[in-house]
């Protein structure tokens, strides 16, 4: 066999380092050499040099520098970004677990959670992970489904928990549980007394307090449109608790997919949470990650723990 052709240091073999890939991914994620340099604690020239070295080694243009809009990845840059993120995650996983003879996962797992779900899902998951995966550290981020999905595909989050509706097909999702929409009424509302399913047609003239945290707002309105209703929106808010407080004070009703265990507003005023007539479709709560980037062993362990925990925990 020709020694030159088999040598790992052959001049024809591009020399690429993990550090170059790390700085390239930071530049792609932040949109500029300066921001990437601040994030990785190096100089902008170091980031630019890493990208240039990659372009030289690969013989392709990875990004275009635009003064007004920052960096824009080329097609080759997009392809490299997806593979580089995978490689960096694998390398990090290797470092964290090398010599780990007991097989226990260890290291940080960055998990995003849809804002309205965080208060009821994150504490039990945190407790469960602490008890069963002591080597794993959860780093939590809250936000809208769109914000969290962008962070997952950019590599800033390993996974997210959110409603399935509106999630990008680029994410691979597993269902944790499903939840059915409930009408939220003041406790003294005319339709609350019988504790029976609320006919949606009976709410046609009532004002709606709309939870407008994407994708909840549009999803709620679409469900109502499908049943011939054109709700009169009295107030829009991204705050789950403000919706409940406004309803409890009698300013209108709301339609929510999440029901706290206590039918009392933040102010201590009574609420009624009732099913609808006709019944509206249940919505899956899912755990999702970028389908192009396999989960690390520790992230996969957290995903399995979440599935096990929420499968045996009743939710509404």
Q: Identify the residue whose tokens are 């992970």.
A: 129
| Cα–Cα separations (whole angstroms), residue 101 to 34, 94, 96, 135, 246 | 41, 13, 12, 13, 55
Residues of the chain with CATH 3.40.190.10: 104-170+290-311, 182-281
Chain centre distance of CA 75: 25
Residue 86 reports pLDDT greater than 90: no
Does residue 125 or residue 291 have the better pLDDT?
Answer: 125
pTM, entire model: 0.73
Residue 13 reports pLDDT greater than 70: no
Residue 4 reports pLDDT greater than 50: no
pLDDT of residue 235: 96
For residues 291-305, average pLDDT: 89
Confidence class of residue 6 from pLDDT cuts 50, 70 and 90? very low
Residue 5 reports pLDDT greater than 80: no
Share of the chain above pLDDT 90, in %: 51
Q: How far apart are CA 50 and CA 43, in angstroms?
A: 11
For residues 276-295, average pLDDT: 91
Q: How far apart are CA 188 and CA 192, in angstroms?
A: 7
Q: For domain 3-95, is the CATH number 3.20.20.80?
A: no
Residue 154 reports pLDDT greater than 70: yes
- Round to the nearest angstrom and report the end-to-end CA distance of the chain: 67
Residue 51 reports pLDDT greater than 60: yes
pLDDT of residue 91: 78
The encoded tokens of residue 4 equal 């030159």
DSSP state letter for 254: E
For the stretch 199-242, pLDDT in tens is 999 998 999 999 999 889 999 999 889 888 899 999 999 999 99
Q: Residues with Cβ < 8 Å from 34, sequence gap 6 or more?
A: 44
pLDDT averaged over the chain?
A: 87
Cis omega before residue 215 (within 30°)? yes
Share of the chain above pLDDT 70, in %: 91
Range from 86-90, 125-129, 174-178, 254-258 carrying the lowest mean pLDDT: 86-90
Confidence class of residue 102 from pLDDT cuts 50, 70 and 90? low
For the stretch 156-208, pLDDT in tens is 899 999 999 989 888 999 999 999 999 999 999 999 987 789 999 999 899 99
Q: Residues with Cβ < 8 Å from 314, sequence gap 6 or more?
A: none
| 3-33 core/surface letters (b: 16 or more CB in 10 A; e: else) | eeeeeeeeeeeeebeeebbbbbbbbbbbbbb
198-199 and 182-186 beta bridge pairing: unpaired
Residues of the chain with CATH 1.10.10.10: 3-95
For the stretch 259-278, pLDDT in tens is 888 899 999 999 999 999 99
For residues 33-39, average pLDDT: 89
The encoded tokens of residue 141 equal 């981020």
pLDDT of residue 314: 57
pLDDT of residue 2: 46
Topology, domain 182-281: D-Maltodextrin-Binding Protein; domain 2 (3.40.190)
CATH superfamily of 104-170+290-311: Periplasmic binding protein-like II (3.40.190.10)
| Cα–Cα separations (whole angstroms), residue 95 to 101, 184, 269, 293 | 13, 50, 53, 18
Confidence class of residue 105 from pLDDT cuts 50, 70 and 90? confident
């Amino acid at each position: 066999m020709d020694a030159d052709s088999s040598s790992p240091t052959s001049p024809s073999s591009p020399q690429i380092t993990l550090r170059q890939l790390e700085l390239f991914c930071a530049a792609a994620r932040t949109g500029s050499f300066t921001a990437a340099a601040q994030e990785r604690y190096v100089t902008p020239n170091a980031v630019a040099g890493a990208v240039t070295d990659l372009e030289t080694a690969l013989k392709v243009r990875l990004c275009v520098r635009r003064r007004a809009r920052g960096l824009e990845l080329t097609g080759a840059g997009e392809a490299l970004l997806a593979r580089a993120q995978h490689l960096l995650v694998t390398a990090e996983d290797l470092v964290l677990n090398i010599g780990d003879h007991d097989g226990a996962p260890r290291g940080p797992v960055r998990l995003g959670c849809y804002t309205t779900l965080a208060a009821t899902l994150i504490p039990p998951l945190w407790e469960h992970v602490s008890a069963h995966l002591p080597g794993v550290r959860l780093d939590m981020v809250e936000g809208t489904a769109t914000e969290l999905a962008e962070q997952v595909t950019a590599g800033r989050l390993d996974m997210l928990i959110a409603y399935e509706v509106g999630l990008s097909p680029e994410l691979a999702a597993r269902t944790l549980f499903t939840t059915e929409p409930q009408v939220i009424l003041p406790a003294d509302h005319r339709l609350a007394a019988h504790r029976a399913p609320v006919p949606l047609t009976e709410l046609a003239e009532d004002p709606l307090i709309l939870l407008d945290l994407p994708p909840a707002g549009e999803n709620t309105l679409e469900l109502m449109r499908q049943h011939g209703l054109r709700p009169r929106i009295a107030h829009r808010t991204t705050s789950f608790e403000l919706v409940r407080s406004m309803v409890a004070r009698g300013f209108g009703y709301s339609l929510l997919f999440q029901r706290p265990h206590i039918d009392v507003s933040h102010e201590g005023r009574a609420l009624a949470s009732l099913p609808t007539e006709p019944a509206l479709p249940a919505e899956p709560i899912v755990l999702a990650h970028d389908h192009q980037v396999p989960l690390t062993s520790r992230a996969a362990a957290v995903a399995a723990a979440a599935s096990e925990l929420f499968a045996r925990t009743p939710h509404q």
